[in-house]
Structure 1
Amino acid sequence: MSPPRSIRRMRFVLLVMLLLIGIVNYVDRSTLAIANHSVQDEFGIGPTEMGLLLSVFSWAYAFAQLPAGGLLDRFGPRKVLGGGLLLWSIAQAFCGIAANFKQMLFGRLFLGLGEAPAFPGGAKVVSDWFPRESRGTPIGLFNTASTLAPAIAPPLLTWLMLSYGWRAMFVVAGLAGIVLALVWFVVYRDRKQLSCEPQPAAEPVSVREWLGLLRHRTTWGMILGFSGVIYSIYLYLTWLPAYLESERGLSVADTGIALIVPYLAGTLGMLAGGGVGDLLVRRGVSTMLARKVPICGGLLLGGLCTIPVAFTPSTALALVSISASQFFMNSASAGAWSLATTVGSERITASLGSLQNFGGYFGGAFAPLITGIIVDETGSFVLALLAASGIAIAAALSYAFLVRKPVGIPESAMATQSGRD
């Protein structure tokens, strides 16, 4: 049965809002990568210190995931996601007026804290508003922000930086987020406010129940596996501009243009990862297996595609291989977020998603730092790229062999919960 028009309309509005929030989220992460050389020159720092600036965001983001999921499940996306958006946007603007390395480090820390509820919050919204068997597609659409923004950001941010300076670039991005936060507070509504259907009262997730999630092997498989997804994606997100300029000899302007292709490939991967999972579920494949196919396949193929990047002398072939890796790794990312919305009950969606994201960004936080150290020591990105390839393949094995059973609900019950509009 088709849901009421008010529900369909609100689903569309919320998806648009989530996409915009996700784009601002990733634009804000991209600013430092675009301003990498300018910030190093102004503050007198080297690749290792820049690696620390890039990594501190991810460490703060990772550890803030732990309370973010429980807060989202308890207080809802309107308050927690909106508050996080406001906090990180203020921090982003502050980075634009930072006077030294320590102040920039402080701003990046709060940027990570504020951004923590964004993607678990999106998963919570999707689980509240969409039926279980059809969540892959909206998850994929929402998560295209993580690839659309890096595709949009390089030419836009490069233009802003070259025209007005890197500081103005940070401030403008922060102001855009503040405006979007105010719109979110006005627009967002809980489903029960628009639906006439009875809504079962759900007990808030307790600390004991949240800790109980860590007793499941599936939870640990998601935590460990997603670290490989984010390590590979974040390596490219944070160091790709510098790699193309120093290793491949592209100018700043040419780099801004060249970055568009890999991130557009990643956007297609996001859509494919969510859509393939939904298609397999509709064709009778078990929910667990259907969600794991794009994850494991994406990690394996993405890891393998990274190897030619390290060795080819051709810049064109390197860009093709990077684009293929982005397609498969982002397919895995969309599959992982779809898994988080279906592997447990709706009450714990944000908690599971944030635990998985914690693993992703705790491991992923080392990507920019380790890459910076390797480049400092060897003068090349070769070993850094090979390490990312191995980590991605290991992550595929984690999802394949540890993620085997639903968390907190019998597998047979997963199908019966999918009939809700």
Structure 2
Amino acid sequence: MSNNQEDRHAMSSGTASLTKSPRLRRIQWIAVSFLTAAGIINYVDRSALSIANTAIRDEMHLSPAEMGWLLSAFSLAYAFSQLPVGALLDRFGSRLMLGAGMFFWSLAQLVSGFVASFQQFVLARAVLGLGEAPQFPAGAKTVSEWFSLRERGTPTGIFVASSCIGPCIAPPVLTAMMLLLGWRWMFVVTGLIGIVVAVGWYLVYRNRAEVALTREETAHLDEGAAPEPPARRMTFAEWRGLFAHATTWGMILGFMGVIYMVWLYLTWLPSYLEHERGLSVARTGWVVAIPYIFGTLGMLCAGQVADRLLARGAGIVASRKWPVCVGLLGGGLFTVPAAYTPSVTLAVVYICVAMFFINMASGAAWMMVSVAVPKRQVASLGSIQNFGGYFAGSFAPVITGYIVQGTGSYVNALLAAAAVAVLAAFAYIVLVRRPLEGGDTLVLTERPA
């Protein structure tokens, strides 16, 4: 039997007999709903500074380079906190780690409305980054615990789509709030909303280990996955061993290209439209939302494409790998004409297409995390990938700030992001070929992608 036939057989055999209980459906619905809501708040909070970029620069007398460092304070703290956060998630679970993280990031968001100096603002943004660190590794871990292997693509696409839904609704909502209440109260109100959701998550959600599952529910969740040894806590030696695999490094380098471009658009797109394209603050608030609608579609398409490729016989790695690579190449290639076109309308169109592709890559990259390693290592691998992405992404606001300050234009900044994305795609193609040892494969011998 061929590898493709084995994949299809493993997916189809016994599926009809493993029905999903109403309780399991309810748990899955609660988990995905809270993860999506938390992700939207996560991105609304991190978007607030870029929405208020011009107002804050004027009030606090900041140069473009200083604003670049302020924008990067979040991403640097977020990146370096990923490494311990992943191990802590695999040790203590998503309920505690995401609940505590959401509470403290929301508190930092609230405090940002009362800062009186550049240094205080940098500190508040750094704490925001520390608090937001568990969000997406916790989501990947939650999906791996509460969804069977064949189901994980769609729920991952849904909760990761929050990274586009948040920036989509943030510009019009936060701009209206800023014009009505001022930028300081904008931070306070969004922080209070996050605290409420953090408390709700901790009270309602339960880790899989905290729920007494029936034999049928356990069989449904473990359907199609390779057998795992009895659950035990992640050790430092196992965590360190993740770095010994080429697949891990391919995932890191690929996500660097994703987040560099995502972070460039998230932090500088409003300012780009105001200063490079001449739009008013009010109009910018609506136009900025349009690319994120396309980004959301890209995220949702990633889940559907991955699940359909898998159902049609693609290997578990290939079904995730090729959406990542196509997304990176498409994001880079469509950013180039956006930099050069003299038309505002065409620039927005090209950016929309670029955002569709780059967010498709982002969604598929998180889907890779949930199948590349055993469930007890998912958060660790996800945090390692996220560290690489946001370490590279941290330089996007700074580099862009210096380019704009030195040239008075965003053209070279956009071209740099396009080059990073294309190079990242080639790294992913070469290095990501098979799951790590012990990963959730549908067959014991996964063919190279």
Letter of the aligned partner of 1:172 in structure 2?
Answer: V
Matches within 5 A, 1:87-106: 87-106=104-123
Deviations 1:210-260 (A, max 9, x none): 011011111011111101000001100000000000000000010011112
The answer to whether the 8 Å contact 1:6/1:194 transfers is: no
CA distance in 1, matches of 2:390, 2:180: 33
CA distance in 2, matches of 1:64, 1:75: 16
CA displacement at 1:38 relative to structure 2 = 1.0
Shifted more, 91-100 versus 401-410: the winner is: 401-410
Structure 2 residue 256 is the aligned partner of structure 1 residue 239 = no
Residue number in structure 1 paired with 2:191:
174
CA distance in 1, matches of 2:425, 2:377: 24
Letter of the aligned partner of 2:214 in structure 1?
Answer: C
CA displacement at 1:3 relative to structure 2 = 1.6
Letter of the aligned partner of 1:388 in structure 2?
Answer: A
Letter of the aligned partner of 1:152 in structure 2?
Answer: I
Residue number in structure 1 paired with 2:12:
none
CA displacement at 1:273 relative to structure 2 = 1.0
CA distance in 1, matches of 2:439, 2:46: 39
Letter of the aligned partner of 2:395 in structure 1?
Answer: F
CA distance in 2, matches of 1:73, 1:191: 12
The answer to whether the 8 Å contact 2:372/2:439 transfers is: no
Residue number in structure 1 paired with 2:337:
308
Matches within 5 A, 1:118-267: 118-192=135-209, 193-197=211-215, 201-267=230-296
**Percent of aligned positions with the same letter in both sequences?**
53
CA displacement at 1:133 relative to structure 2 = 2.0
Residue number in structure 1 paired with 2:348:
319
1:370 to 399, 402, 420: 399
Q: How many pairs align? A: 417
2:125 to 97, 108, 115: 108
CA displacement at 1:196 relative to structure 2 = 1.4
CA displacement at 1:364 relative to structure 2 = 0.5
Residue number in structure 2 paired with 1:379:
408
CA distance in 1, matches of 2:261, 2:208: 36
CA displacement at 1:409 relative to structure 2 = 2.1
The answer to whether the 8 Å contact 1:7/1:194 transfers is: no
Residue number in structure 1 paired with 2:19:
2
Deviations 1:324-375 (A, max 9, x none): 0000000000000000000111111111111001000000110111000000
Residue number in structure 2 paired with 1:55:
72
Structure 2 residue 316 is the aligned partner of structure 1 residue 287 = yes
CA distance in 1, matches of 2:443, 2:64: 50
CA distance in 1, matches of 2:397, 2:119: 18
Per the normalisation by structure 1, the TM-score is 0.97
CA distance in 2, matches of 1:133, 1:293: 17
Shifted more, 186-195 versus 45-54: the winner is: 186-195
DSSP-derived class of the 2:386 partner: helix
Deviations 1:28-67 (A, max 9, x none): 0110001101111111111000000100100100000001
Residue number in structure 1 paired with 2:225:
none
The answer to whether the 8 Å contact 1:292/1:339 transfers is: yes
Letter of the aligned partner of 1:389 in structure 2?
Answer: A
Deviations 1:240-287 (A, max 9, x none): 000000000000010011112100000000001121011111111101
CA displacement at 1:298 relative to structure 2 = 0.5
1:299 to 300, 322, 328: 328
In 2 relative to 1, CA 410–381 (structure 1 residues): closer, same or farther, beyond 3 Å?
closer
Structure 2 residue 44 is the aligned partner of structure 1 residue 27 = yes
The answer to whether the 8 Å contact 2:69/2:398 transfers is: yes
Structure 2 residue 73 is the aligned partner of structure 1 residue 44 = no
Letter of the aligned partner of 2:333 in structure 1?
Answer: L
Residue number in structure 1 paired with 2:5:
none
Residue number in structure 2 paired with 1:351:
380
CA distance in 1, matches of 2:75, 2:109: 14
CA distance in 2, matches of 1:194, 1:5: 15
CA distance in 1, matches of 2:311, 2:336: 35
Uncovered stretches (5+) of structure 1, i.e. residues with no partner: none
The answer to whether the 8 Å contact 2:258/2:362 transfers is: yes
CA distance in 1, matches of 2:130, 2:28: 27
The answer to whether the 8 Å contact 1:127/1:341 transfers is: yes
CA displacement at 1:416 relative to structure 2 = 6.8
CA distance in 2, matches of 1:221, 1:78: 29
